[in-house]
Structure 1
């Protein structure tokens, strides 16, 4: 199997770059179909419109209805084809990005991803995570190519709620540990190959950047300012994590996230928040070195990421419900099989209970 690394054709990050959107899409199209939430449109319309005047660009907006589901994708494919636009732009969070990528794939259109938060590593990947209309994980849609462009305006991200940045750090936190597991098991990545030296280095750099700059970036975004530390974390959450997970692979942490989506109490929590608890559970599952486990636990506590099931809304542990989540995490269509040893639902259940107990233990010492 070949060693393959994937990435977007171009990654643009900086203060105020949203105003340059129409300039940057000129090589792809002249009439963008902009997918954005109703509330998000009010925040991005003004800077985009200024660039549209300069480049004589007709803008068409479509409202995202909240879930990356098959029904939503089909609705937007129809709307795109009726619009006579020639490039799709997804502006917002991870589910908008995944929906825009899926619509572009089925419609045969180029796609530009514009995160307004650094809340997931979805922007750079050739992957869409499909959920039911009710928000329960259904499947991964593997795409033949990465987005044509990812454009990240750090001025906008610095004004977003701090919890969203933290959620992005939770998603990015899994990148290195899952990459390491895939390397140990010699598993394939998301693009039909195996990790490269570069992709493993990117995954490790992602983790190192979180540890060195995560707390500083959180302080910056709480104050609504854009510092060098925040720029580094935005890049880690968006680019390093995106390239790292896709080109190395994922394992237990994301599979556990997917299992947890079946528990209704977790639906109000962000993807990265559930992935962070999944990462702690994976470390327990691996019987990770205590020093490593404590570093990850303390990072979660310092940034406010979940370390217990109660932090995800599961205040009453129902064994049957948690076992169902463990069984889903070990399903044949998920990524638990990328672990370097055989994993059973009982092992996942036990590790979630143990991770929860460790989280309560370390919290009590604060």
Structure 2
């Protein structure tokens, strides 16, 4: 048995840390190619330029076209070549991260990830999700290493809408339970090895942090302030969950999320919102204790995360539609097969319906 854990080369988090990007990134190169949305460039360019002021470096800012596609990656690679850039910086959200990581991989140069939201655990991972130019999923690009630096300015992240932070909590909520399932099944993690005690401890710490600080952080961000609880939740959503999912492994919760993507009624939800309900379904599949299920549902209710099919946007429950979700959740190669027991489409259908009933009971 081979155990493995992977992580970014360096993780830095703090209020105002974007203003110190020079100190954290200067050892990586001398010519920086910075990818962000047009609005992201407008908001962050003065801060980045001020940080590098007086240094013998070149900064090239390039607007992201909105889709992590092969065409966009190739366009940006051309910009890197024209500017003789030797470091990529991606500032923004998930698709910008994935694009920056892909460009850096193909150009074989370091990459810095600067999240401006904490809605997923993607910033730390060695993975890019590639879409077509029209936004249709194309493929996963598995990368040989994680980002060289992940820099999180919590002053910026805490100003984003509270729903985004809460969606990140929903995504992080699955981390411990999926790692636990993979450990019980002796399943491989995303790094191709078995889970280490370190990765499992981080996954467990992630869950405990969500329970302790999730509601406090949501309330603080709704007021536009950054408290210790917000700092803790940003770390949980970004780093603890990032290491936890990649080096712990995925199981039923994320597979069930993928299953719900077949229903148009759920398309308005963020990734983490669907994952939160998928976590409850996984607990039902495992026949977890009522104490554990109540704890998870209680946190979701505190944070306004979905606990019923109606919360997921499904106003009229049709058996054939839920069975389509169950079928997609159990597709060949899905992570639901990392559960420590065989899971069938009938099992998933039953667990979804039971999770909905539990959610309605506690609402």
Query: For the superposition of Structure 1 and Structure 2, which TM-score range results when normalised by the shorter chain?
Result: over 0.9
Aligned to 2:34: 34
1:310/1:80 Cα in 2 relative to 1: closer, same or farther (>3 Å)?
farther
Aligned with 1:268: secondary structure?
Answer: coil
* Whole-angstrom distance in 1 between the partners of 2:73 and 2:37: 14
- Residue number in structure 1 paired with 2:279: 279
The CA distance in 2 between the partners of 1:361 and 1:69, in whole Å, is 43
The structural deviation recorded for 1:291 is: 0.4
> Per the alignment, in what secondary structure is the counterpart of residue 59 of structure 1?
strand
Provide the secondary structure at the position in 2 that maps to 1:61.
strand
Q: TM-score scaled to structure 2, two decimals?
A: 0.94
The alpha-carbon deviation at position 313 of structure 1 amounts to: 2.4
Q: Shift of residue 324 of structure 1? A: 2.6
Equivalent residues of 1:35, 1:100 under 8 A apart: yes
Question: Contact conserved, 1:135 with 1:267, CA < 8 A, in 2?
Answer: no
How far apart are the structure 1 equivalents of 2:328 and 2:130? 15
Match of 1:179 in 2: 179
- SS for the counterpart of 1:95 is helix
Deviation at 1:100, TM superposition (A): 1.6
Structure 2 spans left out of the alignment, 5+ residues: none
Runs of 4+ in 1 over 6 A off after TM superposition: none
CA RMSD in angstroms comes to: 1.8
1:129-148 superposed Cα distances (whole Å, 9 cap, x missing partner): 33455555554322111110
Give the secondary structure class of the aligned counterpart of 2:218: helix
- Contact 1:4–1:247 under 8 Å retained in 2: yes
Q: Following TM superposition, by how much is the alpha carbon of 1:298 offset from its aligned partner in structure 2, in angstroms?
A: 0.5
Offset at residue 207 of structure 1 (A): 0.2
TM-score by length of 1: 0.94
Q: How does 1:165-176 map to 2 (within 5 A)?
A: 165-176=165-176
Mark the CA change 1:184 to 1:326 in structure 2 (over 3 Å): closer, same or farther.
same
2:103 maps to 103
Write the distance in 1 (CA, Å) between the matches of 2:238 and 2:146: 13
Distance in 2, Cα, partners of 1:71 & 1:252:
33
Q: Tell me which residue corresponds to 2:344.
A: 344
Please give the secondary structure, in 1, of the residue aligned with 2:11.
strand
Q: What is the CA distance between 1:289 and its match in structure 2?
A: 0.8
Q: Distance in 2 between the 1:206 and 1:151 partners?
A: 19
Change (3 A) 1:71 1:359: farther
> How far 1:211 sits from its partner (Å)?
0.3
State the match for 1:292 in structure 2: 292
